[in-house]
Every structure is written in structure tokens, then in C-alpha cells.
Structure 1
Amino acid sequence: MLSEKFIVELGIALQAQNHLLRKLASATSEIGSKLTNIEQKLSDTGVASEQLQALEKLMSDLEASQDWLEVEDFENFNVDQILGLYKQRQKHISVELIKIGFNDWESFVRQCQAYTLSQGIDPLAPYEALLTEADFEVLKEESFNAQFRWDKWDYIFVGASGILASLTDYFLVKIPTTLTTGQYAGQTSSPITEWIKKYDTTRGDDWFASWAQNLAETCKVPYDSMSYVDADSIKRITGIFPKSHRLQSLGHDPVLGFIFGVLDIMRGTITGFSYDRLTHSHTWLQGAVWSNLEPINLIEAILRQIGHLISDVATPMGLPAPFMTLIQGINVGSFGKGRHTIGELARWMYLNGYDFRHFLVSGITPAVIEIFLRAYIMLRHYAEHGEQRVNLTSHPKYRTMLLLAHGIATAGNAGKITLMQGNPLAINYAEWMAFIRYLMPSMKYWLFDQYQLKIEHLENINTNEWEQLLKSSDDILAAVTALDYPTVTLGKL
């Protein structure tokens, strides 16, 4: 870790050197004559090189004829002459260092500070003062944010996809059921949901209806019961009736059912919530249903769970939307004229047709964004980066684009709810889930990953520059060694 004192000293030295370099750049016409003088001064070093080459030749000759050498041949050989040549070269280098005024770091800093003061330069100016306009442009293009910068086309396609999804939600998804009475009377249902719900496996005679009816008979499950055994007596679940039993049992949830439903099948129990109309609250419950349970392995339980869900999906009440069975347990909030809790709203929505089939229809809204915007992003990425693979949901820019588009769609859904007098059936459950899906990793990126990725980006730039410097050095060394220059090599005495 660099100390603050060293950073300040380094800044002073760099300010002085920067000023000198700029002065040299503006006085290039005078360099020619100065180089001539420098060449004359350095000509003495050529003499030392010639002497070393002569000694090398002599040593080579000695090595080639060492078998014929005798002790008398070394009587006039003076080793101190060789050491003197190297001392002379070392002294010459020391003289050159003294000429530029460099004795040690502290004296060098003092000289730089004196120079900056004499030239009217602020010795404590920021490092940015050393950069030119070209340098700023390079830094701008190599910055971490440059790779995530948006242009006008990004904004256009994000806005267009979000608005198109909102229009789809309002005109196509609508609500699951046409309401003829009550506060929301006159609001019409989605034509797609209405068309899907016309198919009823309990009344159909086609192959799928026959298959579903057969599954209903063979895939019996304990959580289909509306009562359970409590202290050796059969107790009915509070608030349950045929239309609500699928909502109140977690086994009927299309997602959670593969956890709680499978466990209930293996244990012969029912897991879910009771509902008390007086207290307006849902209470967690779990009770035994099958007393003479035969052992059921995990694979059989999963297959029975799948078969039972298939048999229920196209019935008049259908299956609840994913996680709606769990949401009913949230006994907080006060919405509408009746001051209903979130759990009561979930119950009311399911009883009024908001089932798994309408959830699939509401998925059209996020699907519009995913198809429309992802197609643009992938084509844009291919045009700019070729066939380089990229995970759109992990790329900060692309994920933010998808998040903003879904944010526009969720805002549009909030407007739809307002226009429909706050009808909970107007909630686009699938769109809100898609928005949260992109919001959570984006928050993690903004709070934590962003700084780490910035450091990694800078390290990558430094690594690339260092590798380029090493490559350039290797190229220069290869070019120099390819030239036929005489080399100086010390022989063995």
C-alpha cells in the first residue's frame, strides 16, 4: 500500500516531468543540434567497447590454444586492466546520473518541487492535470461504464417493449371472469381465458378428458379431503368447501405441491390453511387423513402428485396460481371498502376465477418483453461482438434493460388496476413475478457486485496493457538480436 507522503511526492515529480516533456515537445526543432553534442559525448563509450572486444578476441585466442600455453605466457597479463575498464564504465554512468541531478529520491523530489515553483506549476495539482484530451478519450472508452452505456436505440426498444406489453395486458389479458354484479360489475373477461375455460375434463369425452378422469380415480391424494383426524375425532377444516379446498391445501399448488403435496402423499396428511370468517384470518394446519396408510416411495408419490394435478387443471375451479396458496397465509393489510387482508384478497381472487389457467394467459405480457426485447439485444450483441456467448440475465446492461421494460409493464398494470376501480382480478401476477425476478439480482449488483466488477475490469485493462508491453519488449529484443552486432562476452581466466 502506497503511503500518502509517497503519493504526494510522486505527484510533484510527475508534474515536473510532465512540464518538461511538454516543453521538449514544443522545442523539437532544437533537438537535432543537441543530439549531435550528445553523440560526441557518448563517443568515449565506444572506445571502451572496442577495448572490451579486443580483450574478448584475445581471450578467445587464449582459450583456443590453452593446451599449448605455459606459465611464462601469462607473465605480462594484468587482470587489473580488465577490472579498470569496468570501473571506468561504472564511473562514466555515475557521472551521467550526477549531471541530471539525481543523487537520491528525496533530493530528486526537492529539485522537482523547486522546479514546479519556479515555473508557476501547482505541485499538488490532481493527476488528471497530466492527461491530454486524447488521454481522456482513451479513459472514457476503457471505463467500466462505457461497456454498459445506452444509446437511443436501447431506450427506444426498451420503451416500445414495455408499452406493447402494457397494451397486451389491458386489452388481451384483462380479468379472468366477466363480472355482472357487485362493485366491479360490467368488467369483461379475457377472451383467451374464456376460451381456455370452455374446456372441461369433467364433461369432455376426448382422449385428454378420458385420461384426466382416469387419473382422478387412480391418483387419489390425502390433501383432497376437507377434514382431518384430531385427537381421535374427525374435524372439518374451518372455512373449507368444495370450491375452496384446492386453495386451502398446499398440495394443489403447481409449484409448492411438489414439496408439500409429495410429503402429504407419503405421510397421509393434509397441509394448508384454515379460514375463519369472523376473525378474517388464515391459520396454518397439518393433520392426518389416512390412518391405514400403505408405504409409498418417493417416485410413486411424485408420479401420483403429477397425475392428480393434471386431473384438476382443466376442471371448473382449476388449480390455484403458483404460490397463491401460500399468499393466503399473509394476514396483514387493509384493502378496499371491506378492509381485506392480503390473504382474503388471494382467496377472493381464486373463488372468482383467478386460477392457474388465467395465470398462464397473464404470462403473455412478460412474454412479449422477453421475445421482443431479447431478440433486439441478441441481434445487437451479435452485430457488435460477433458470436461471443453472453448470458443476458447476468449481463448488467442487458439485465437493466429487461428490468426497465418489465418496470414499465408493471407500472402499466398498476394503471390498469386503477382504471378498473382497484379490482384485484386486474393484477397481472405473472408480470409482477417477472419484474421481481430481475429486480432482486439487479439490487445485488448495485449494492455489492458493481464495485467488484469495476476492480476486475481495471485489473483486466492493466493485465492486457502489461501483456502488450511484454510482447513489444520481446519484439524489440528479437529485432535487435537479429542484427549482426558484435557481442561482448567475458571469457574464463
Structure 2
Amino acid sequence: MAAVWYDTTIDGAVADGLGATRKSGWMRAWERAGKRLPIDYTGPGFGGRAHRVRSPGHDLGRPFEALRQIRAGEFRGVRWDYGDKYDVTVGGRFREVDSLAEALVLWAQHLAADVVTPMSLPMPGSSWLYELDNRALRKFAHEVYLGTSAGNGLNVRSGILTPSLSVITTEVILRTHVHARAYASTGSARLDEREQARRTELLLAAHSLVGAASAGKTLTRMIILDDRKGMALRHVNVPVLLRMGCLAVQVAHDRWTQSRAVAQDWDALAAGLMQ
């Protein structure tokens, strides 16, 4: 719960930790290897602090487009000028890559070198929103990633990596507690089906509390902020919401399996009485 209310502070610490890796030799080597790639084009209409949100090659949700550009040595993007959409293609100045495997390695190295920077990477799908013929969505994608200062917006670090820490912490604490209690009771840390189902329910309850706190803070920030209300979305804990969904499905499946087992037991009892 504390991780939700102090998520900005924690994200700052994570950013500092990741930033320290930029000075390492291997990260510098990756950064050099990823230079002169077309996805890093920052010409007219594609520069600035938020240039990555306008580059499909920096979008984790569009790997095929990124790899195509790297292999062809050609940047492709969309520029908006007073509501008019222009498809931009820039080639002839970037290196070409022959194999798909090499392109994949270069892309991974480039993204790794970018994710440790203060601006990190935009959330998956951001470049797609920026290319839509809807000014409100384009402005939303740009402003949410840009933030009020460098790295203060919604990005892969603040939206996925940092919130994942609360998910991992909750999982470790609850799983350790459940298995330790089982070991104290039976002398074995292994759980039977009933205890496994109970563990899943406890995990769902714990993650739901964190998710509720995250939603509450997001709503509060939306009410307080006069402008840039979209900035409140950086407090949404996406990993915990995904984990809640998976656990909810598992709980529903466990209860359905248990109800079927009970029904079969009653059918077997009835059959025995009829004999």
C-alpha cells in the first residue's frame, strides 16, 4: 500500500538506479551499437524531448515495424501539420541490416540503452495513438509521455517496471507466509488443492487492495489537477491490474472445479443408495 502512495518517490529511486547503469561499459557498448539506426531519426517534426513517442521504432507494441525500418535502413513516421497528416520516409543516411537476428539484437540493445534514460520509453501503443486522426488522442499520448519534467510522465519505467515492484513484493510476502504456515502445521511446505485455492484467494485480496489504492490515488489526482488530467494515469498500477485479472480467472476456475467435485460426490452417494 505504501508503494502506491509513494510511487513517485520510488520511481525516482528506480530512475536513479537505472541511470547509474548508463556509465557501465556494457551499456555504453550497447548504446554505441544502437547508433545510426533509422528509428532514432529526429529531423523536422520528430525531434524534442518526447521524440520517442513519435517513432514507431521505440514502441514495444510495434516490433515488426521497428525491425522493418532497421533492416531497410529507412525511417517511417507520421507528421501532423495544422491537422493535416503527412507520411514521412527518410532513407539513405542509415545503415542497413541484412539478417533479422542482427536487427533484433540491435533493436534490443537500442531500447535497453533508452529505457535507462530519464525519459525511458513510451508505453506500448503510444506511437499508434499519435498517428490516429484524432487530435485529443494525439495530444494525450504526447503530454502523458512528456510529463511536467524529464521522466515525470507515463513511460515504461514509471508505468510497468516500478509498479511491478509492489506486485513482486506482495507475491513474495504472501507466498512465504502461506508456505511457512503449511510447514509449521504439517512439516511440509507443499500445499494441497484446497490450500492452493486459498493461497490464490489471499493473493487476489491483497492485490485488490493495492489496485483499489492505485485507482483511488489516480481519481484523486484527476480531481485535483486543473489541467493535464491525463498525468494522473501515471499512478495507475497496470501490473497489479493484470495480476488481479489472472487471479480472478484462477479463483473462478477453482470454485467451478470444486463445485463439480461436490456435485459428483452427491451423484455417487445417490447412486450408492439406489443399489
What TM-score, normalized by structure 2, do the two folds share?
A: 0.68
SS at match of 2:34: helix
Counterpart position of 1:210: 28
CA distance in structure 1 between the partners assigned to 2:133 and 2:200 by the alignment: 37
After the TM superposition, which residues 216-295 of structure 1 pair with which residues of structure 2 at under 5 Å, given as runs?
216-217=34-35, 220-226=36-42, 239-253=45-59, 255-256=60-61, 258-270=63-75, 273-276=78-81, 278-279=82-83, 287=89, 289-290=91-92
SS at match of 2:237: helix
CA distance in structure 1 between the partners assigned to 2:197 and 2:122 by the alignment: 28
Counterpart position of 2:142: 347
After the TM superposition, which residues 17-416 of structure 1 pair with which residues of structure 2 at under 5 Å, given as runs?
165=1, 167-171=2-6, 173-174=7-8, 191-193=12-14, 195-196=16-17, 199=20, 201=22, 204=23, 206-208=24-26, 210-217=28-35, 220-226=36-42, 239-253=45-59, 255-256=60-61, 258-270=63-75, 273-276=78-81, 278-279=82-83, 287=89, 289-290=91-92, 296-328=98-130, 341-352=136-147, 353=151, 354=153, 355-359=155-159, 360-379=161-180, 387-388=190-191, 397-398=201-202, 400-415=204-219
Return the structure number with greater relative CO, CA threshold 8 A, min gap 6.
2
Stretches of structure 1 that go unaligned for 5 or more consecutive residues are 1-164, 176-188, 228-235, 333-339, 474-493
Q: Which amino acid in structure 2 is aligned with residue 313 of structure 1?
A: V
Q: Which amino acid in structure 2 is aligned with residue 195 of structure 1?
A: D
Equivalent pairs counted in the alignment come to: 263
SS at match of 1:363: helix
Task: Give the C-alpha shift of residue 252 in structure 1.
Answer: 1.2
Q: Pick closer, same or farther for the CA change 1:241–1:293 going to 2, 3 Å.
A: closer
What TM-score, normalized by structure 1, do the two folds share?
A: 0.42
Q: CA RMSD in A?
A: 4.6
Q: Pick closer, same or farther for the CA change 1:433–1:398 going to 2, 3 Å.
A: same
* 8 Å Cα contact 1:221/1:265 also seen in 2: yes
* 8 Å Cα contact 1:170/1:416 also seen in 2: no
Residues 176-235 of structure 1 deviation map (CA, whole Å, 9 limit, x = unaligned): xxxxxxxxxxxxx9541563476484xx4x424532443234xx42222246xxxxxxxx
Stretches of structure 2 that go unaligned for 5 or more consecutive residues are none
CA distance in structure 2 between the partners assigned to 1:417 and 1:369 by the alignment: 25
SS at match of 1:427: helix
* 8 Å Cα contact 1:174/1:426 also seen in 2: no
Counterpart position of 1:60: none
* 8 Å Cα contact 1:320/1:350 also seen in 2: yes
* 8 Å Cα contact 1:331/1:341 also seen in 2: no
2:225 to 421, 427, 441: 421
Residues 316-368 of structure 1 deviation map (CA, whole Å, 9 limit, x = unaligned): 53322344434545676xxxxxxx83442331132232343334234334344
Residues 156-194 of structure 1 deviation map (CA, whole Å, 9 limit, x = unaligned): xxxxxxxxx2x32223x227xxxxxxxxxxxxx954156
CA distance in structure 1 between the partners assigned to 2:247 and 2:27 by the alignment: 42
CA distance in structure 2 between the partners assigned to 1:216 and 1:251 by the alignment: 12
Q: Pick closer, same or farther for the CA change 1:319–1:386 going to 2, 3 Å.
A: closer
CA distance in structure 1 between the partners assigned to 2:94 and 2:215 by the alignment: 53
Task: Give the C-alpha shift of residue 261 in structure 1.
Answer: 1.7
Q: Is the helix fraction higher in 1 or 2?
A: 2
Q: Pick closer, same or farther for the CA change 1:393–1:362 going to 2, 3 Å.
A: farther
Pick the structure with greater CA Rg.
1
CA distance in structure 2 between the partners assigned to 1:194 and 1:294 by the alignment: 32
* 8 Å Cα contact 2:97/2:103 also seen in 1: no
Task: Give the C-alpha shift of residue 285 in structure 1.
Answer: 5.3
* 8 Å Cα contact 1:410/1:435 also seen in 2: no
Residues 4-36 of structure 1 deviation map (CA, whole Å, 9 limit, x = unaligned): xxxxxxxxxxxxxxxxxxxxxxxxxxxxxxxxx
Q: Which amino acid in structure 2 is aligned with residue 256 of structure 1?
A: G
Residues 20-75 of structure 1 deviation map (CA, whole Å, 9 limit, x = unaligned): xxxxxxxxxxxxxxxxxxxxxxxxxxxxxxxxxxxxxxxxxxxxxxxxxxxxxxxx
SS at match of 2:46: coil
Task: Give the C-alpha shift of residue 435 in structure 1.
Answer: 0.9
Q: Which amino acid in structure 2 is aligned with residue 223 of structure 1?
A: I
SS at match of 1:369: helix
* 8 Å Cα contact 2:15/2:116 also seen in 1: no
Percent sequence identity over aligned pairs:
17
After the TM superposition, which residues 444-483 of structure 1 pair with which residues of structure 2 at under 5 Å, given as runs?
453=257, 456-462=260-266
